[in-house]
Amino acid sequence: MADTQSKRARNMPTGPSPFTPQEAAALAQEKFRDPLVTAKGEARAHVGLHRLETLWFNTGSLCNLACATCFMESSPTNDALVYLTAAEVARFMDEADADFDTREIGFTGGEPFMNPDFPAMLGDALDRGYDVLVLSNAMKPMRRHEAGLETLKAAHGNRLTIRISLDHYTQAAHEGERGANSWAPAIAGLRWLSDAGFSIAVAGRHLPHEDDAAARAGYADLFAQQDIRIDAADPARLVLFPEMDETKDVPEITTACWGILDVSPRSIMCSSSRMVVRRKGAQAAAVVACTLLPYDAAFEMGTTLAAANHTVSLNHPHCARFCVLGGASCS
Ligand code: SF4
Ligand code: SF4
Q: How large a percentage of the chain has pLDDT more than 70?
A: 89
Q: Output the pLDDT for position 54.
A: 98
Atom from ligand 2 closest to the CA of residue 318: 1
Question: Looking at the CA of 62, which ligand is closest?
Answer: 1
Q: Output the pLDDT for position 256.
A: 94
Q: Which of 74, 79, 162, 277 most suits a substitution to test ligand 1, by most atoms within 8 Å of the C-beta?
A: 74
Question: Looking at the CA of 320, which ligand is closest?
Answer: 2
Question: Looking at the CA of 182, which ligand is closest?
Answer: 1
Does residue 5 register a pLDDT over 80? no
**What is the rounded average pLDDT for all residues in the chain?**
90
H/E stretch holding 118: helix 118-127
Where does the pLDDT of residue 326 fall: very low under 50, low under 70, confident under 90, or very high at 90 and above? confident
Q: Which amino acid residue places its CA nearest to atom 4 of ligand 2?
A: 290
Where does the pLDDT of residue 308 fall: very low under 50, low under 70, confident under 90, or very high at 90 and above? very high
Does residue 236 register a pLDDT over 90? yes
Please tell me if the CB atom of residue 63 comes closer than 6 angstroms to any atom of ligand 1. yes
Atom from ligand 2 closest to the CA of residue 312: 5
DSSP state of 92: H
Does residue 76 register a pLDDT over 80? yes
Average pLDDT over residues 31-46: 94
Does residue 41 register a pLDDT over 50? yes
What are the pLDDT digits (tens) for 180-227?
999 999 999 999 999 999 999 999 988 888 999 999 999 999 999 999
Q: Output the pLDDT for position 2.
A: 29
What are the pLDDT digits (tens) for 88-144?
999 999 999 999 999 999 999 999 999 999 999 999 999 999 999 999 999 999 999
Q: Output the pLDDT for position 242.
A: 73
Please tell me if the CB atom of residue 111 comes closer than 6 angstroms to any atom of ligand 1. yes
User: What distance in Å separates the CA atoms of residue 130 and residue 156, rounded to the nearest whole number?
Assistant: 10
Average pLDDT over residues 254-269: 94
Atom from ligand 1 closest to the CA of residue 63: 4
pTM for the full predicted model: 0.90
Where does the pLDDT of residue 26 fall: very low under 50, low under 70, confident under 90, or very high at 90 and above? low
Q: Output the pLDDT for position 245.
A: 72
CB 182, CB 139: distance < 8 Å: yes
Question: Residue 323: what residue type?
Answer: C
How far, in Å, from the CA of 74 to the mean position of ligand 1? 6
Cα dihedral sign, 2-226-197-61: negative
Does residue 329 register a pLDDT over 90? no
Does residue 24 register a pLDDT over 70? no
Q: For 4-68, give the DSSP string.
A: HHHHHHHHS--S--SS-HHHHHHHHHHTT-SSSB-TTSPBBPEE------EEEEE--SB-S---T
Q: Set out the domains of the chain in order of their start, with CATH numbers.
A: 49-324 (3.20.20.70)
User: What distance in Å separates the CA atoms of residue 98 and residue 222, rounded to the nearest whole number?
Assistant: 44
Most confident residue range from 29-43, 65-79, 99-113:
99-113
Q: Output the pLDDT for position 249.
A: 83
Please tell me if the CB atom of residue 110 comes closer than 6 angstroms to any atom of ligand 1. yes
Ranges 3-12, 131-140, 269-278, 295-304: which has the least confidence: 3-12
